[in-house]
Every structure is written in C-alpha cells, then in structure tokens.
Amino acid sequence: MVFDPATLTYNEAGLIPAIAQDAENGDVLMMAWMNAEAVAKTLETSRVTYWSRSRQAFWIKGETSGHVQELVEARVDCDRDCLLLLIRQTGAACHTNRRSCFYTALRDGAEVELMAPEAD
Amino acid sequence: MVFDPATLTYNEAGLIPAIAQDAENGDVLMMAWMNAEAVAKTLETSRVTYWSRSRQAFWIKGETSGHVQELVEARVDCDRDCLLLLIRQTGAACHTNRRSCFYTALRDGAEVELMAPEAD
C-alpha cells in the first residue's frame, strides 16, 4: 500500500505528534510536531524535519546545532494520528544539551533529574 | 522538588500527550492523552489512566479489556508539555489486539504491517 502523508489525521492546526526514539538503544528522546509537508520532507530526505509551532516554520532538526536526526524508520499508529520515528541521533536531542528531553522523573511525588547536560 | 500536575503545560483542551513505553524492552506501545486529574490518578494508583477524547471520560487503560498498564515510572520533558510513561503492559496495548499501536512501518513509500493481532 503506497503511503501518502495526506492520509494521516492531523489536529485542528494541521499537525501530528512525532515521537523520536533512538534506533540503537530504544530511548525515547523527544516529541515534536509535523505537518503533512514536514512528514513528506522527512521521508524524502531521511533528515527529520519538524514544524516549529513557536516559529511557525520548518525545523530541520540539528540545522543550527548539528544535532541532526537521521531517520531509520517511520511508523504510524492504528489511528493514524501519531508517528514514531526510529532515528540515529547525533549529540543531544534536547535544547538543554541533554541526550533526551525526558530527563525528569517523577518519583514519590518529587521531581528527580536523571541526566546532566552533555559536555560540548 | 515536589511534583504538582498543575505545573504541566496542557493544550487548549486541557490535555497533555502521554507516550507509553514498555519498561522491559523499550518498545513504544501507544500515545494517548491525559488531563491534570488523569495525571494525578495515574501517579496515585500506578494504573495508567488516560482521558478519552472521543468519550470525554477517564479511560482506565484495560478496565474492560484487562489489558492494564502498570506504571513503573513517569517522566516529564523539558517543556513540561509531554509525558513518558514506563509501564508494564498486560496483553495488547492496541485496540486491534496488537502489542503496539505502531505496527505499520513506512518503507520505500509503502506501508508495511509489522505485527499481527495477538491470539486471545
């Protein structure tokens, strides 16, 4: 079955959430948003390209930081309203320079920081 | 730092996306939504409880199917607008009776089904 980004379900802003998972160790690194064109660009180039809601512009991950995400495989969920991206991450996925954006655990009602920013 | 669900960032519908990841093998199983009360219930009970957008009601995962999700650890991302739930999944996470909702891969412009529904 040929894949067409237009067949995905987007929210009222025309966006779909995309979860980036490290293809090597399975760590979930971040979640961001794509519009149909960002989905198409990501599949065409294998460079993960989100839609920045704050800047209202394409966000080629790592374009300024060098922390690029190379797509290994994209998957779509049963409702076609969420994407899972298996990627190879160069450097930190998080803008805080941590490997993953999910660096804060909730344990016994408190927030616990799991990892420090990486050295440059 | 004490955690308060009210400190998370919710969308205009009062919801935050929650990614469920198998705590044992790292598979991403599904993504669904929570409101602040669902976050609190999940942390209090360790039974993952979403907010069903279609039913506009709490959705205690597995309440009817038996396919419950036991919370191992919740994590919050840098922007505090997405949750990652490390869980122990009983049976299938997906309503199609597949282990994961992300059973469709996009390969060479085509959709490829990665897994079949589980036997009952």
- The structural domains of chain A, with segments of one domain joined by +, span 5-113
B45 CA to chain A: closest CA distance, Å?
Answer: 12
A105 CB neighbours in chain B (<8 A) are 73-75
C-beta atoms of A106 and B1 within 8 A: no
Of B17, B25, B43, the CB nearest to A31: B17
CATH number of B5-113: 3.10.20.810
Per-residue pLDDT of B77-100, as tens digits, reads 999 999 999 999 999 999 999 999
* pTM of the shown model: 0.97
ipTM, two decimals, is 0.96
Of A19, A75, A110, the CB nearest to B1: A110
Residue A119's pLDDT is 84
Q: What angle do CA A77, A82, B78 make, to 5 degrees?
A: 135
A27 CB neighbours in chain B (<8 A) are 26
